[in-house]
Structures are given as structure tokens and as C-alpha cells.
Structure 1
Amino acid sequence: MKTTISVYAAFFFISVSSISCHKDSDVLGGTFSKVEEYMDICPDTALYILNSIPNPEDLRGKAGADYALLMTQAMDKNYMKFSSDSLIALALNYYSVDKREPDMRAKAQYYYGRVLLESDKAEEALGYFLAAKEYFESVRNYKILALIAEETGKISRKQKKHAEALADFRGAFAMHQQLKDSMGIVRTSLHMARSFLFENQWDSSHYYYNYALKLTELKKYPFENSILHELGILYRSMGDLNAAEPYFLSAYQKESDEEKKYMECLSLGYLYMQMGRVQEAKKYLKMSMNSPHAYTRINAYTYLYFLEKDIDSFEKAVIYHEKADSITNAMEAINSEKLITQLQKQYEKEKLQNNNLRMKIQYTSFTLWSVVAFLLVAFCMCYYYRKNREHKSKIVEIESQIRDNEEEIDRYQQEVEEIQKLKDLLQEENRSKVGELNGKIVLLAMQNKNLSGLLKELGGELAVGASSEQYISAFRLLLAIKEGTLRGKLSNEEREKLFSLFDLLYSNYVSRLLELCPSLTRHDLEICCFLKFGLTHEELSRIFQTSPDSVTKAKGRLKGRLGVSPQEDLVLYLSEF
């Protein structure tokens, strides 16, 4: 009685837990659906919703994988840097095991490639991009295919494979046009313009920069300053410094971000330095010295060093050089300290997480195993009771099945033996017929030879043409081969006589073989004729002056050319041909 109550209590607990989990799963599924709706149009809202989910580290299974994938996607859409690949790896591992959602697995592969690319692991990232591309090509998802093409193009450009990069960017450009995605068109236009710039193809680069600029101005996209700056770089690379100046100035005047404004000052200062306009170069380079970005200040001091050095102001040049070196050394020390601190924090965090996880796992494992053990004992008792009842009937059924199978096996073996005997009889009968006919051929050839000699003794003339003489000669040759008196291999003339004889005797036998398989060699045709005539394997080995294994291999090649299956008998096939 107590056991029954315990069983009911356990099942009640499991049922309540399942209902509760089901309700939580429905709420979470609705939240994830809302995040997906906002992902493209308002990625910052999608990120906010994800950050509002309480205790995301407690999510398990599909819920945890969906959260990891959506969070990685939201961070990417909001241009956030990835500190590690642990989040997206969680999603990829789950979808790689659970094969029911191949689209989610492919999407996880794409974003895993994005995270690896951010970590300067281009080669590994490329593998994941190509794996995702294979799936999305099969379902024709051009939106993600265009994004993948952009990523692979950037990898190829980084590896200085500009032709491959341009091919990828053009493919992405075409797909964005098909989807009427103007922002994607602007983005891929800039990629192509940069690739042409690296290849010194100025006209093509200028065309795509201007195309992107017009579309950006029309749609009010936030790319205008970047395009103006890169157009200045284009003209500077072409050596047209005067044409580059208005683009750099326009980018400087329109830039509202203070840090980027210092970068524009640096570009203007360097341009004026190249143009020899010293005062203006100093003005903008000194402005860029106030940048909060250390590397911008280093470049500003370096350019001022060269500028002062060129005008023979060596004292100021030395000062600028020392400032650039001091900032460089400080940055190296800070980077090393930051790296050590970051690694220490990461280690402490992972250690704490591991300890908490270990304790949680121990508690959960104890509870879970207690319930599992109880259910397992109850299940085993029921199972063995049921198994004991079915045991005897199952034994009778199995014994009956075994007897039936043995009878079937005996019957099939008898059929196989009968078929084998019939096959052997047919082969023996065919060989006997071939031998009988060959004997008649040889007898007639000998009679013709004796009659020809007798006719000559009587002073008569044999009324046969050149072809008859050829056939008689072929008969003699065939007789010599059969008797084993032939020495050396057949000449080309002897082969032709032999082939003509077989055409005469067996209804164009050689001609039909060549019509069936024009690739047959003279050696193949010889084998066909000798087998038709009834010569054995050993006789062929003696005639061709080779080993039996070589004859076997030659027969195998001949089967392949004639289209005869390996199981068929070649002699039987040729005797019936």
C-alpha cells in the first residue's frame, strides 16, 4: 500500500513539474518570437528584451541554445565586440546534436564564423561560412547568402585574393538588388570600391564610391562621412592631392563624433604635409594630438616629427619623436597589464561559475538519481513480471520460426544446386558442340588440301579465287594453332586471314564484335576467335606465350569492353554471339 502511494506521489510531482515547465517554455517562446521580429528593424530593442530575461544562465536545452543564438545575433547587429566564442558555441553544439532544425544549425554556423572573424581567425571562420552557405543555397535564402558572400569576400580581400573577393562582393550585390535591400547595396558597393582601390583600378573604384554616396544621401544612411573620407583616400592614392582635399574637408566638417573628427584632422594634416602646405599640415596634426585615442596621437606625433625634420627644425622633431615613443611604450605596458588583468578576471569568474555549477549539479543529481532509482526499481519489477508471463509463449514461437527457417534454407539450397547443375550441363553441351564443329572444320580443311594436291597431280586446275586460297591458308593456320605446332606470335597478315575466316564461318562474327564494341584491339579479337573455336585457358596461355594469370586479366578486360558482367561466363557468351 505504501509503495503504491509513493508511486502515485512521484508521478504527481513529475506531472506538475512538466506542466510548469511547459508554461514557462511557452512564455519564453513568445519572448524569443518578439526578439526575432525586432532583430532587423530595431536591433537595440531586441538586445534590450534579451537582457531583460531573468537568469539566462539557468536556461537549458533548446531554450538555452535559442537564447545564445539570438543574443549573439543581437550583439552583432549592434556592433558589439565579442569577448569569446563560448556563447555561440553553446548554440552550435546543441543544434549539431539535435538535427531537427537544420536552419538553426546553419544560422549558428554563420554567427560562429562571425565571432571567429572578430577574433582574427579567418581560416576557421571561412569553414563555418561555407558550411552555412551549403544549407542556405539548398533552401534559397538569398538574404543570408548575401551576408555570407560579404563575409567570405572580406576574408579573401584580407588574404589579398582580390579577384575572389570581387566575385563574392558582386554576388552579394546582385542578391541585395534582387531583394531590393538598399542598405545591403550600399555596403557591397563600398566593399567593391575598396577592392578596386587595392587593385589600383581607379575608375571602377570611383564609380562604386559615387554610386554608394548617391544612394546614401538619398536614403539618409549613416555612411556618408566614411564614403567621403575614402574618396579622399582614392584621389590621394591616384596622386591627385588637390581633388582629395575637398573630400577630406567635407568629411571633417560633417563629422559629429569627436573621436572620428580627430581622425579626419589626422588625414587632412597628412594630406597637407604631402602637398607641402606646412602651416595647414601643422594646424590639423596638432588638433589630432588632442585625440583620446592613443594610436591617433602616435600617428600625429610621427607625422609632425617628419614635418619638422623636413624643414630642418630638428629640436622640435626630436620632441615629437620622443612623445610618439613614450606613448607607444606606455600603450604596450597598458596592453600587457590589461591582458593579465583580463585573464585573471576571466579565470576567477570561470572558477566561481564552475564551483557554483558543481554544487548545483551535485544537488540536482542527488534528487534526480533518487527519483530515477525509485522509478527504475518499479519499472524493473513490472518488466520482469510481464516478461516471465510471455517467456514460454515466446520460446514456442521462436522454435517454430527456427524450424520454418531451416526448411526454407534446405529448399533454397536444393534450388541453388539444381541451377548450378543445369548451368554446368549447358556449358559442357556448348563446349561439345564447339569442339564438334571445329573438328569438322579441320577435317574439311585437310580434305581440301589433299584434293588440291591430287588435282595438281592429275594436271587439273583448282577453280578457286584468291579468297578461297585465303580461307584454306586460314584453315591451315587454325589447324596448326589447335595442334600446338605454331611457333611465335601471329603476324598482322595472319590475323586478318583468321578474322576473315571467322566472318565466313560464323555470320560476320568479327565484324559484329567490332560493331558492338569498336574499341576492341586485335589481341581482344584473337581471344574472341580462339574462345569461339573452343580453345581452353591453358591453350590460350601457350599460344600467347604468357602466364595463365595474364590470360585471366585479359579476359576480364575483354568482359568490361563487351559489357559482360563479371558473373557471366565469357565462353558461353561468345559461343552464343
Structure 2
Amino acid sequence: MSALYMGDINYDLGNIEEAMQYYLEGKTEVEKTDDYKTGYLIMSSLGKLYLYRRLADYAYEACTKAYDYAVKDSNKRYQMASLKFLARSYCISNNLPKAIEIYKQCIDIALDLDFENNEYYYNLQKELASVYTNNHDFTKSMDILKSFPKKQQHFLLMGANYLMINEYDSAYHYLNKALTTNNIYTKRAIYEYLYELVDTSKYRKYLKSYCDSLLFYTDSVMSLDKGKEIIAYKEKYDHQKLITEQQRLKLEKADAQRMMFIITICLIIVIAVVAYLYQKRLVRKETTIRKQSEQLQDFMLQLHEYETRLMQNNRYMEELQEQIAGQEVREQIDSLQSENGRLSENINTLQNHIAEYTSKLDKVRRDTEKFRSISEENLNLKQRERMLADYVVDNDSLVKELREKCRVLDDMEWGTLEQMCESTYGNFVSRLQVICPTLTKQELHLCILIKLRFSNAQMSEIFGVSVSSVSQKKFRLKKHLSDSLEGGLPEEMTLDRWVAEF
């Protein structure tokens, strides 16, 4: 609505380019709503602007849209007015049969609204009669004009029709009565018809007078038209420039959305890689435990085998001691005792290995269980902390209000948001000011809005700037932080991610 008012004011002041910009801005915004009344008013104003500058294609599009809004609003007056402008757009496109059809629809609505014998009704009839005249249907044009009361008669059109049907006396009478106007375009048209009239012998005496007057008014109109033509071309260029700018902004928005999609995919891939590496580490730990368990089993089997052989040797030595009879038996006993010594040493070594591996295995198992428990607890705590913080933020009255409808904040409301971030996110504001003491108030506010998960579009409404300006602010803030931090920010790290994780 404010765009409509600003457009009307600028149009009345003669600032056509500014008026067109406001109308187009209002058109873009009203298309997002169901406010058909405002939509009609904007498109009707835009259509009139195009009509008076004879921009036929633009006028047709705007008038058609205005009529659609009027139909959706079920407003007969709006439908009648928009049909009149639509008919005029067909006239400047030289589609006269279609213009006649639309004028008839408009007149029918005027009759339904009891506009008969009303000034507006007679103006519609005059425009229809003029279209019939231009379409060389002089009879229908005259039928309409003769039905008017005397004070509503259109002398120029009646004189032109009489001239076309060769009733020269009547044509002369009405054309001279029409000369009372001060409009130079109308006077030029009247003198063109009078100049045609002097072809007849009766009125040839006025040839010089009519010729001089026609030349005078033709020169005046040509001077005006030349200036208007230049203005019209400039306005057409400015209009196309505005449309191109809107298309560029839409493309920038699409690029930003595509970039956000790519960043989201990259984050998902990073999370998947981290999860894979974490899982791989756990599998490696479990594999190490399994290998050490298998090695421990092998040591146990060897120990059992050595103990069995030791027992057999001891029994054999006892048997040999009973049968001591010669030197060979004694040597065999010494050999067995020597082997038993080696076996005892091996047994002691294996027992030491078993004790060592058992201790290591127990420690590894305890460390693994502790690592897994701490990791799961840490993930749960982080998730719970994030959920609680988001819950506190989302249930704050000011944040709720801004998520529903963004607006520019005052200093007290910014202070409320700072205090909430400070208490909810672990001294967020203080920590930011410590790592970057040169942070400006506006940059701090931008960090707070990012932390509270507001989108670029919402930030643009809160700051009262365009979405592209918010992107520029983020770029400058990232550079500022990167210069202040030791080591800087990685190129692949986005500002939103860094603030969210800070």
C-alpha cells in the first residue's frame, strides 16, 4: 500500500521513473498476498501510466491483471474501470473490434450499477462512438451520439461523422462549434476535417484560413510529440531496466539457494566421513582386542603342553632313578633335568607374557569401554544442550515475534537479544568480544542473529536493508574475524557454521 501511495505521489510530481519503480515494487509484493483490492489499485495505476505513454504491450498486460484482481475482489466498479483501460489498450494496439467488445462489456456493468445518464456513462459511450468512427462504422457512431442529451453532445465526433457521410453543412456546423476547446490536439483534428471540407465549392473561400490554422497547430503538436516521444523511449528504457534488475535479483536469490544446498550437502558428507572414521577406530580397537585374545589362547595352549611334558619327564626321572644301574642312565637323567630346566624357564616366560597380556587386555577393554561411554555421553550431552538452548531461544517472546513477522529493532530489544545469547549460549557475546575486541555493534548484532538461526531474508527486514546488503555484511564480518583470530578462518569454513559452533 505504501508503494502505491509513493508511486501516486511521484507520478503527480512528474517523477515518472520513480513512480514506475514504486508501482513495480508494489506489484511484486502484492502478488505474494490475497489483497485483491490493493492489487487492482497498483495494476490500474501502472496501466494508466503505460496507456498515456502508448506502451501498448505493457498497458495490455497491466490492464488485464487489474481486471483479474477486480473479478477476484467481486467489485463491479473496479471491473468497469479496468475494462475501460483494457479497451483503450486494444485501441492503441489498433485492435478495434476487440476494443468495441470490451467497451460493450464495460457499458453493461455501468448499467447494472445504475450509471445511466451519469457523466461516466456518457464518457464511455463517447469513447465507443469514437472507436466506431475509427472503424469506419459511421452509422453506429451517429446512433450513439444522437442519443445523448444536448449538453453531452460531442461536436467534433459528430462533425467528423457528418463529413464522412458527405453531409457537409452539418459537418461545418458541428466542427465550428467544436472550436471552442483549448486543446491543441483537438483543434488540429478539427482543422484537418475543415481542410477536407474546403474541397467542396461552397466552403473553398475558407481555404487559406483553414490551411494556416492547420499548419500552426500541426507544428505545435509535432513539437510536443517529439518531446513526448523522447520521454516515452526513455521511460520504456527505464521500465525495461527495472524489469532486468528484478530478474537479476531473482537469479542472485536462486544462486544463493543453490549455494546453500551445496553447503548442506558438503556438511552431510563431512558428518558422514567423521562418523565413518569414528566407527573405523572402534573396529580397529575391537580387532586389536580379538588378536590379543587369540594370542593369549595360544600362550595358554603352549603352557599346558609344557606342563604336560614336564610332568611326563618327572615321572620318567622317577622311574629311571629306581633303575639306576649304569652311567648311561645317569647321563639320560642329567639330560632330562637340563630339559626340565629349560621348560621351567619357558613356563615362567610364558606365565609372565600371559600376565602382561592379560593386564594389557584388561586395560584396553577398560579404555575402550570408557572411551565409548564418554563418547556416547558427550554426544548425548551436546545434543541435549543444543535442544535445550534452541528450546529456550524459540520460546522467547521477542524471538517468537520476529520469526512470525520481522521488523527493525530498537536499542532495548537488541539488549534483550544480547542478554539472552549471553546466558543461553555460555557467555557467547563476552567470548566474541574477547577474541575480537574491535567488533562493532552492528557486527555483534549480525553474529547474534546468525546464532539465533535467522535467515538472510529475515535479517534484511530486521536491519532494514536488502538481502544482498546482508550478504555483503557477512562477507566483511568474516574477513574481520579472520584477521583478528590467530591462524584466521579456513577458506572452506562459512561464517554461519563458525558462529553456530562457537
Q: When the two structures are superposed, what TM-score results if normalisation uses the length of structure 1?
A: 0.38
Greater RCO, CA 8 A, separation 6+: 2
**TM-score, L = length of structure 2:** 0.43
